[in-house]
A and B are shown apart, each in its own frame.
Chain A
Amino acid sequence: MAEANYRVALVGTPNCGKTTLFNALCGARQRTGNYAGVTVEKKSGRLLADPNIEVLDLPGLYSLNAQSTDEDITRRVLLGLEPSEKRPDLLILVIDATNLHRTLYLALQILELGTPALAVLTMQDLAQRRGFTIDTAALSQSLGIPVVRVVKATPEDIVLLNTAIKNSIATRKNRNKLQRSATPEERHHKVAAICRQAVRPLAKSPGPTPTLDRWLLHRLWGSIFFIILMGGMFLGIYSGARPVMDAIESAMKALAKLAGEALASYPMTASLVSDGIIAGTGSVLVFLPQIALLFFFIALLEETGYLPRAAFLMDKILSWSGLSGRAFIPLLSSFACAVPGILSARVMPSDRTRMATILIAPLMSCSARLPVYVLFIGAFIEPRFGALWAGVALFGMHLVGLVVAMPLALLFNRSLRGREAPFILELPEYHWPHWPNVRRRIQDAVSDFLRRVAGIILALSLAIWALAYFPHSAKTVENEKTAFAKERNIPITEVENESHKTEWENWLKSAYLRESFLGQLGRTIEPLFRPLGFDWKISVAILAAFPAREVFVSTLGIIYSVSDAEKDPQALAKKLLAEKKPDGSPYYSPLLAITIMVFFALCLQCMSTLATLRRELMSVRWSITIFVLYTTLAYGVAFLVAQIGSWL
């Protein structure tokens, strides 16, 4: 797009209605990015009414005395200190009628700088519900700049705002340098005087918010409501997305099969297309239902005003580790999947706490680890110790990550640099969601994931595919034919007969994987895993599970020549039970099963999570650091389990 002639910036406190205005002003003509060098999201767009005017939605702030990275960005842009950002030509100060005093405090502080500005008064409808109204003329008089009232971004109001913006730019007036206040007290007194002039009481009704809060913030009823709501939300993401994910998976499988058959005469291309490209695309698409659903719920929580209340209720549980109540939703969502969980940390202001939350999110036991737990608990715990202990083991596996994560959060919070605003929240009026905002939120999350994360996931899938496919030499077939025939006691010529077809195919697949680069790598690193009791088969499965954790089960399946281990873990479990050590004793024990599960619970064997981490922290270095850290951690804890277990 051509360079815009003018830049206007929306400025206001958090929750004042800035983004709603921005969406209405720019519609689809907006994009999101990042400010240089920091993880603060940058939203900019072009005015629908005049593409020559660029609009910037600056992060919300309470004061120019910035206390977090977000606030600092806004301060720097306003003062023209941000090198990559031109100083805005015009500011749109957003004044929230239901939070008049604090929004005016910020407005005054900014007007003291002398930048040309105009003001928008939002939320007048909610103010009236609370029993007062605001006289925009009086407000305009006191501030010395035009004030436009915009209620819920109604098109008529937006037209007026557009006109006001264009007028301000044309006349280049509206510069009203207020006298500086020496102290916050002095400024507060000025604000109070303005409020006295501009606020007109209507009726003595406080509106529904205090009543709702008496229940929703109640120590008992509020907690019960919160638990039910979060439980519902979690189940919604966990199982609500399942049918769509399954549909995507089976569609991709069908497509892969189709492609495989169509390209049957070019085996390598067939495998590249179906196991590489199509499967890789599938592993990107499969995240979309969860991301969309989670952001739908989050948008509802934000749009009704409940989100800060949830943070209030949960703060104490998390504060000891240096996190805050705001971390609750990202962490809870990570139990479904760390990818949407990490993305949802955007509800937190960008600071150290957000970073710590993102860093521990992958330790929450996600749903992709479940098939691994189910396989091993089903095969080695349940038959020996009964259903009760199987349940305990499953619960324990979900706890392991959490138990490790919280002290780590404390450590991150102590050692990470970065600014940190004190934990202070405002509790806005409850209101009905503004649906365009909900839609925009989901759309942003999904398109951002596709644009910035999907590519890496796809590339890594292809790399892993290549490692698992090549060298794929023709010699393998001949050697394996002999081995297969010997094992089955049949003549070599009968190996490819119809009666052995599936078995032979599975056998050959297993052999190819064993001899692939990935298989060789697995055997190379086997000595590394030996102290944990893992053989090369487990090592290969761990490596192959990098594109997606649940692939661990199907890879073991391939190694053990089981047709479809994901659908039929019993068949694989039988093979594992039959696996013998050289001395003839069973190779797998409950202890080994637990060791594998613990390793899996802690390691960061998930390239999608890593790709998302890289995007959200804007740092390849951190992604690699955290990968190494968690792998080491997983190894250490699994090693302890294996050692202590073998003494008992």
Chain B
Amino acid sequence: MPRPNKALRSLATLAPGEGGTIAETPPNLRLAELGLIRGQFVRVLGVAPLGDPVVLALLDTPLVVRRAELEGILIRG
């Protein structure tokens, strides 16, 4: 059962394997069009050798995004 008050976490700080449903996202048209919209489930698949960028499991095809772009996207779960 999802706990309604569970703290929101920033997508930029998740470790590989962690994920959840997007609760809040700042207006970023490109990311929204690629599927980072509220209510969408997303998981961090992996991190590049030097810590950035990250690979997200999102929709059908994994997406590589720099952490800086993920700033402000909040995840519940």
State the A residues within 8 Å of B (CB). Answer: 62-63, 65, 67, 98-102, 105, 184-185, 188, 213, 217-220, 222-223, 308, 311-313, 315-317, 319, 421-428
Contacts and interface: CB of A to CB of B under 8 A. Distances in A.
B23 interface: no
A313 B49 contact: yes
A287 B50 CA distance: 35
Nearest to A65: B29
Closest 6 CB pairs of A and B: A316-B50, A425-B64, A184-B32, A101-B59, A427-B62, A63-B33
24 contacts: A62-B34, A65-B33, A99-B59, A99-B61, A102-B35, A102-B60, A105-B33, A188-B35, A218-B46, A220-B49, A222-B49, A312-B53, A313-B48, A313-B49, A315-B53, A315-B64, A315-B66, A316-B49, A317-B50, A423-B66, A424-B30, A425-B64, A426-B62, A426-B63
Interface of B: 29-35, 37-38, 40, 45-53, 55, 59-66, 69
Contacts of B53: 312, 315-316, 423
For the complex, would chain B's binding face be called helix, strand, loop or mixed by DSSP majority? loop
B32 A100 contact: no
Nearest to B57: A210
Given A184-B29, A424-B65, 16 more contacts: A65-B29, A65-B30, A65-B33, A99-B61, A101-B59, A102-B61, A184-B32, A188-B40, A217-B55, A311-B64, A312-B53, A313-B48, A315-B52, A319-B66, A422-B30, A427-B61
Contacts of A101: 35, 59-60
B1 to A, nearest CB: 24
Nearest to A222: B49
Chain B CB within 10 A, most for which of A62, A218, A308, A312: A312
Contacts of B29: 63, 65, 184
B49 to A, nearest CB: 5
A224 B29 CA distance: 36
B32 to A, nearest CB: 4
A133 to B, nearest CB: 14
Contacts of B59: 99, 101-102
Given A313-B49, A422-B69, A423-B66, A184 B33 contact: yes
Given A102-B60, A424-B30, A184 B37 contact: yes
Contacts of B66: 315, 319, 422-423
B73 to A, nearest CB: 14
Contact of A185 (B31, B37, B51, B60): B37
B64 A100 contact: no
